[in-house]
Structure 1
Amino acid sequence: MHKVDDLKIWNKAIELTKSVYTICAELPSNEKFGLISQIKRSAISIPSNIAEGAGRNSTKEFVHFLSIANGSSYELETQLILLIELNLISEDKIKPILNILTEIQKMNYSFQKSLKSQY
């Protein structure tokens, strides 16, 4: 069992989620129940699954939840790219978030690899 707030990846995912919420506040209100809702769910899923995995009883379960968090990160990446493609927000505003997301994806891969070597 890991203390979640000691995990660098979890803290980075919390930072990401806060940035996503800030960007969503700038989006058109007619997207509130569409893309905005989906983006927020994907963003929240990342630190939530990291936390759930950290609280599980085995390393194998932790890796499973990191895998789910990773899937959510790619889902979020797609949705953020769609914001740009649909001209809902400028690329300049999304690029820093995508950079954090890429960092989290790399951290997640490395962390999973490290944990898998323990079982």
Structure 2
Amino acid sequence: MDFRDLRVWDEAMELAEQVYAVTSTFPNEERFGLTAQLRRSAVSVPSCIAEGNGRDGVRDYLRFLSMARGSLSELHTQVMLSTRLGFIALTAAAQLEHQILKVGKLLQTLRKSLRAKLPRNTHSPFPIPHSPKTP
């Protein structure tokens, strides 16, 4: 399946668009600070989803989805800070929060689905010693 067919990628793209719109009103002195950081985090989420989808193995895909989840958490923190600093209005912050939570749930669903495709490890990394036979 192409990454453009994934709902999580589409919703992450929507989130990035929302972040760009909101940060366009930030003070000029934040252009290289929070504005850039928010945009970088927002772009990272759909980018990691797309890159993971383009990888050959499930484990690689999961690694990139984990990075997307990390970027999403980073973005969430930056949105909260920007709101506290008065750069984002409460209504816009609520819309971003809603979209962040939606993307997070979709990421979790995709990760769970992919983990189910991994082979089960039937061998314990800690072997149970056999008791010696008694005569």
Using structure 1 for the length normalisation, give the TM-score: 0.96
2:38 is paired with a residue whose SS is: helix
Partner deviation per Cα, 1:47-76 (whole Å, 9 max, x = no partner): 000000000001111111000000000000
Partner SS for 1:69: helix
**d(CA) in 2 for partners of 1:93 and 1:107?**
21
- The aligned residue for residue 66 of structure 1 is 65
Q: Percent identity between the aligned chains?
A: 36
Structure 1 residue aligned with 2:35: 36
Structure with larger Rg: 2
2:15 maps to 16
Q: Given the alignment of the two structures, is residue 80 of structure 1 paired with residue 79 of structure 2, yes or no?
A: yes
SS in 1 for 2:26: coil
Shift of 1:89: 2.1
Aligned to 2:91: 92
More helix per residue: 1
Encode CA deviations 1:67-86: one digit per residue, 9 max, x unaligned.
00000000000000001111
TM-score, scaled relative to structure 2: 0.85
Letter aligned with residue 42 of structure 1: S
Specify the SS of the correspondent of 2:46.
helix
RMSD: 0.7
1:53 matched to 2:47? The reply is: no
Q: Which letter maps to 1:49?
A: C
In the alignment, the residues of structure 2 paired with residue 60 and residue 30 of structure 1 have an alpha-carbon distance, to the nearest angstrom, of 41
Distance of 2:83 and 2:19 partners within structure 1: 14
Gaps of 5+ in 1: none
Letter in 2 for 1:45: S
Deviation track 1:26-57 (CA, whole Å, cap 9, x = no partner) reads 11111000000000000000000000000000
SS in 1 for 2:117: coil
SS of 1:88's equivalent in the other structure is coil
Aligned length: 118
In structure 2, list runs of 5 or more residues that go unmatched: 119-135
Moved more, 89-98 or 25-34: 89-98
Q: Distance in 1 between matches of 2:88 and 2:116?
A: 42
